[in-house]
Chain A
Amino acid sequence: MAGNRSTLVLSVVVAALAVLPLTGVPDHHLRLVAEILILGVAVMSLDLLIGYGGLVSLGHAAMFGVGAYAAALFATHVSPDLLLAIPAGIVAATLVGAVMGALVMRSANLFLLILTLLLSQMVWEVIFRWRDVTGGADGFRGIPQLTLPGGMAIDSGVDLYYVAGVLAVGAYLVAASFVNAPIGKALVGTREQPIRMTALGYSIPRIRLSVFMVSSAIAGAAGALYPFVNLYVGPQVAHWTMSATLVIMLVLGGVCTLFGGFIGAAIYLVFQTHVSSYTDRWQLVVGLAFVATVLFVPRGLGRELHQLLRPLGLGEPRVTAETDKKGTVR
């Protein structure tokens, strides 16, 4: 059964991630992998909107940014406890996502893109102008290290890496359960045949609002951990250019795969880290990679990987999951 196979793949990935620090990888590399995992979660949450819902949002950074600031503020002023600060970010991002979702749930296509862009820029403005609370353009500094419930600080790259790993696996399981549940199938239905879905008695705005909230919650969780990578958060995390970066990562990694988000984030951040040490024009290289992806692997690297693995029986089921399952059962 396809379900067992994807469990197997997931287990192998998790095991590989778990033993990575034991292989003597330098601490700062682990920090980079942690950042990849965090941004990968944000991209994966965007995949729910763009890939599964066909809702091309250019405002996803608003939720990531609100999650980041909420968790940073909470950790600074209330408690640096991981189990409280991260949920604070999730709650804040979900609330913003609910408002944004309610405002855009009746639109689609270009109109939705512009609306999400506008609304997210309003969020960015608030963060940018509200100096007393957010530090404005200078960003927010003096964030304490997160602590585990026992009070142990999460201070090394290894610790951060493990926390990001748990976040990534948890977020993946949540997103995968969403797309495999009736609500996820209804979401794909609204992307494929919106009129038919209405004629089946489904309320399209209700489905869109649901996916906005789930996607925002996951983006908020990723955002919530992000400030603790460098103990700093700046307003650019909520800027529309950040949203665009998330979209680029998604296209690089592969739309409608969920795990493609991690691949896209890895490519982008590795380029950013390594190419930028040779040239300031590293974004040109990312741009070329983006163009090459669109031209040669338009479905993204994640999909190609998925296609390569399929003959080995390792392909991950996606939209047509039911067909696959039935096909093998019968």
Chain B
Amino acid sequence: MTGHTSIEPTGAGLSLHGVRKSFGSYTAVDDVTLDVLQGELLGLIGPNGAGKTTLFNIVTGFVRPDVGRVVFEGADVTRLKPDQRVRRGLVRTFQKSMVFPELSAEENIAMAARARQGSGYAWWRPAERAAEALAEGSRLLRAIGLERRGALPVGALSHGEQRMVDILVSLALRPRLLLMDEPTAGLTREETARVMDLVRAHDRSTTVVLIAHDLDVVFSLCERIAVLNLGALLAVGSPEEIRANPEVRTAYLGSHREH
């Protein structure tokens, strides 16, 4: 960590300042300023093309913003590469599962655990670090009830199981901030509940930002909700405030859906 130049008032885990990103003439993210509080579960919703994933890409460093700053735990990370941000605890999951299909579930998680331990590049490794990484895999698999599938190549698991392994991989990085892009797509209600329980139980101080199309999930789980529309931030507030917000209702929730 660089010296704690506390730019932000305490409490903000992640702050976006006037972030903008255009692809050609299309503005994907338009002047977004947002504080995510340390330890909160924030839902990020918006219609397709609202810029949710682009915003994730900006926060995690996969896309550089044209203007604006990304501040994580008091340090400006706008210029850091994705892997450097991950090492600070800024972790994401992807819309599509990104597992290593040929490797076992345990090995998938161990790959993350080794990265976190700092033994990911080791050649002459102390055996106990390797065992520790694999143990982390078994522990997480047990926590979600997949322990009997741990030795199988992930490619052989069901879609839902692969998604769960994907999330366990991210948890093995012990994130300070976890950005989850549609983690519950393709999961059953019951699996969704298991996953979200595990994410919250894993470490209460971890900040979570959740993108989900399933509004029931967002409104029932999230402490606050941010609404994006056409790249701009429309509203931020508690689920009740968002439900009551007339702008949100017209732009997004529409009349077909009552909450």
Contact = CB atoms under 8 A, between A and B. Distances in A.
A179 to B, nearest CB: 10
B99 A196 contact: yes
A198 B82 contact: yes
7 contacts: A186-B114, A189-B111, A193-B99, A198-B82, A199-B92, A200-B83, A320-B104
Interface residues of A, number: 30
B224 to A, nearest CB: 25
Given A182-B130, A201-B83, A202-B120, A195 B107 contact: no
A185 B169 contact: no
Interface string A6-40: 00000000000000000000000000000000000
A182 B153 contact: no
B26 interface: no
B91 A199 contact: yes
B86 A201 contact: yes
A207 B82 contact: no
Interface residues of B, number: 38
A330 interface: yes
Nearest to B102: A320
Contacts of B23: none
Given A182-B120, A201-B87, A210-B121, A320 B115 contact: no
A211 to B, nearest CB: 11
Contact of B98 (A188, A196, A202): A196
A182 B119 contact: yes
A323 B83 contact: no
Contacts of B100: 188-189, 192-193, 196
Nearest to A174: B123
Contacts of B94: 195-196, 199
Contacts of B121: 182-183, 186, 202, 206-207, 210
A200 B111 contact: yes
A181 B86 contact: no
A312 B173 CA distance: 40
Given A182-B122, A192-B102, A195-B98, A330 B91 contact: no
A257 to B, nearest CB: 15
A186 B114 CA distance: 10
A304 interface: no
Nearest to A322: B107
Nearest to A204: B83
A192 B111 CA distance: 13
A134 B226 CA distance: 69
Interface in B115-146: 115-116, 119-125, 130
- Identify the interface centre among B83, B102, B153: most chain A CB within 10 Å of its CB: B83
B106 interface: yes
A243 to B, nearest CB: 26
A203 interface: yes
B99 A319 contact: no
B104 A181 contact: no
A148 to B, nearest CB: 28
Contacts of B153: 320, 323
A323 B125 contact: no
A54 to B, nearest CB: 13
The 10 A-B pairs of least Cβ separation, nearest first, read A201-B86, A326-B151, A196-B98, A322-B107, A323-B104, A181-B123, A201-B115, A182-B122, A200-B115, A201-B87
Contacts of A323: 102-104, 107, 151-153
B123 A183 contact: yes
A265 B55 CA distance: 51
Contacts of A326: 104, 106, 150-151
A202 B1 CA distance: 17
B131 to A, nearest CB: 12
B215 to A, nearest CB: 27
Given A322-B103, A323-B107, 19 more contacts: A178-B123, A181-B122, A182-B119, A182-B120, A182-B121, A183-B121, A185-B111, A186-B120, A193-B98, A195-B94, A196-B98, A199-B92, A201-B86, A201-B87, A206-B121, A322-B104, A326-B104, A327-B151, A330-B151
